Amino acid sequence: MRIAFIGDIVGEPGREMVKIYLSKIKKEYGIDFVIANYENASHGFGLTAKNANELVSYGIDCMSGGNHSWDKKDVIPLFETHEILRPHNYPDEVSGTGCKVYDVAGEKLAVLNLMGHFSMPYADNAFRCAQTTVESLHSQGIKNIFIDFHAEATSEKRAMFMMLKGKVSAIIGTHTHVSTDDFQIIEGSAYLSDIGLSGCWDNVIGMDEKVPLKQFLTGMKGHFDIPKKCKKILQIAIMDLSEGICSNAFKLKYFDDARIIKTDAWR
């Protein structure tokens, strides 16, 4: 199977780039299944029902979340009606799940969403949750496992990979909105510390720079806003999986000025 992952769709600019490019990418690269992180999709914070339906209409099959999963309250019923995840290491008492299994190209694919600890809301231990969940999936005969690890610290992301390499198909980090240059395949597992945002790239993590700069200069916080005009990017990782092994992986960057940059995973 060939799957794709889009991380941190930020506001209308991010949704616009998905609308313009995703169907073309799916056709050109023969993608069977698309996962995307939704937690910043609605004006930078959370996901509305309207935007959820919009993203599904563009060809996204499953959406993962993070610390902003709960920012829009109408997301809660969507956990039951849409293929939408929240971090699996939130307590069992909260709505939704962070792990679902799909039939893709004649094989099973598990999508697991986890959230890290440094500078994040309180949640259960992500590493123990990952261990238990992966062991359970293996016991069910499910070998192809993709993880969106939504975390601030690259050390947490790398440690998760060291723990699970050879046991899962891929771990890709989200949350920082800043792409890293360490896409690699080790022991049949793909890894990328952070795929980076899809949306505005000529500002501060997809947001207008005025409020972040004021905060850094004065300590006074404010509401972050999506710029009305900006330079936009879509960042997407594509991976070939079978029998739990990632045999090939690369990342594409699509810019709104028609540039395309392709980067192959290290081996």
User: How does pLDDT run across 118-164, given as a tens digit for each residue?
Assistant: 999 999 999 999 999 999 999 999 999 999 999 999 999 999 999 99
How far, in Å, CA of 99 to CA of 247, rounded?
23
Task: Evaluate whether residue 205 is within a structural domain.
Answer: no
Give how many domains the chain has, as a whole number.
Answer: 1
DSSP H stretches of helix in the chain? 11-29, 49-57, 75-81, 126-139, 154-164, 210-218
Q: Which of 43, 68, 88, 138 is catalytic?
A: 68
For β-strands 232-242 and 2-6, DSSP reports them as antiparallel
Active site residue 82: no
Task: Evaluate whether residue 84 is within a structural domain.
Answer: yes
Question: Is pLDDT above 90 for 254?
Answer: yes
Task: Evaluate whether residue 187 is within a structural domain.
Answer: yes
Expressed as residue numbers, the domain containing 169 is: 2-200+227-264
Mutual angle of helices 126-139 and 154-164, in 10-degree steps: 30
Q: Is 186 helix (H, G, I), strand (E, B) or coil?
A: strand
CATH number of the domain residue 89 falls in: 3.60.21.10
User: How does pLDDT run across 194-251, given as a tens digit for each residue?
Assistant: 999 999 999 999 989 999 999 999 999 888 999 989 999 999 999 999 999 999 999 9
The reported pTM is 0.96
Task: Evaluate whether residue 60 is within a structural domain.
Answer: yes
Task: Evaluate whether residue 219 is within a structural domain.
Answer: no
For β-strands 107-115 and 144-150, DSSP reports them as parallel
Task: Evaluate whether residue 209 is within a structural domain.
Answer: no
User: How does pLDDT run across 31-42, given as a tens digit for each residue?
Assistant: 999 999 999 999
Task: Evaluate whether residue 87 is within a structural domain.
Answer: yes
For 109, 130, 172, 174, 237, the CA distances from 179, given in Å and listed in that order, are 25, 23, 11, 9, 11
pLDDT, residue 156, reads 98
Task: Evaluate whether residue 190 is within a structural domain.
Answer: yes
How far, in Å, CA of 158 to CA of 78, rounded?
31
Query: What does residue 249 show for φ and ψ, rounded to 5 degrees?
Result: -155, 145
Q: For residue 183, what are the contacts with CB-CB under 8 A and spacing of at least 6?
A: 190, 191, 192, 237, 249, 250, 251, 263, 264, 265, 266
Q: How many CB atoms lie within 10 A of CB 267?
A: 8
Span 55-75, average pLDDT: 94
